[in-house]
Amino acid sequence: MATNKFIGYLESRKNLTGSACGLVGLALTFTGLAGAYWPVVVVGLYGAGALIAPPERPSLPDFPDPSAQLDELRVDFAKLRDYLNGIELPPAAAGRLTELTDLLTALLDPGWVAAVLAQDPEGVHALSRAVRQDIPEAVDTFVRTRWWTRLTPGTEPPERHLERQLTLLHEEADHLATTLHETEARRQESHTRYLEDRGRS
């Protein structure tokens, strides 16, 4: 550990700047300008250089890039679909869930849509939250509440809440799809304007 610190200091900006200033002190010594106090001059210039050197900049954390995040999300989405295949839902809720998962599948499929999505961190976060939290929680809560409803008939059917939740999640995913489409449309329009401006010039 001490060796690593020593090597790190040798490579640091402080040591490099101090050494450069120390070499200036040696040059002054050889020209006779430092006089009898040349050791003090050399050490002083080294110290001054080490003090004025900019501080070391710590390395940025190595976070996965958006495309890697989407790869992980696809794996989790496959797990979610396996889980959902084992759940029996009322027809209306099952239909809403199918619409939602079909839309998520289209957004997560590798290709140009995913490439556009990878440039939208908020969109990736929204999909991640839907796949890893919102959909599993909505379905699991329905399954547990449905069991209690059998013991207390006459209460509000839990499938109504599930249908509403799935509808809201579909609206969010649809809004994301619309946003990505608008991004591509703006890109196309920008390219048209660029070509028009280039033609006029």
pLDDT tens-digit map of 156-177: 778 899 999 999 999 999 999 9
Q: Domain boundaries in the chain?
A: 2-52, 66-200
Give pTM, 2 decimals.
0.64
Helix%, strand%, coil% for the chain, nearest 5 = 80, 0, 20
Compute the C-alpha angle 123/128/134, nearest 5°: 115
Task: Give the separation between CA 65 and CA 118, rounded to whole angstroms.
Answer: 9
Q: What is the pLDDT of residues 75-127, one digit of tens each?
A: 999 999 999 999 999 999 999 999 999 999 999 988 888 888 888 888 899 99
Burial class (CB in 10 A: 0-12, 13-18, 19+), 125: exposed
Question: 6 vs 11, 89, 196, CA distance in Å?
Answer: 9, 65, 60
Map tokens 């591509």 to a residue.
184
User: In this model, does residue 26 exceed pLDDT 80?
Assistant: no
Q: What is the pLDDT of residues 144-159, one digit of tens each?
A: 888 776 666 666 778 8
Question: What's the token pair of residue 82?
Answer: 């396996």
Q: What percent of the chain has pLDDT over 70?
A: 72
Amino acid at 29: T
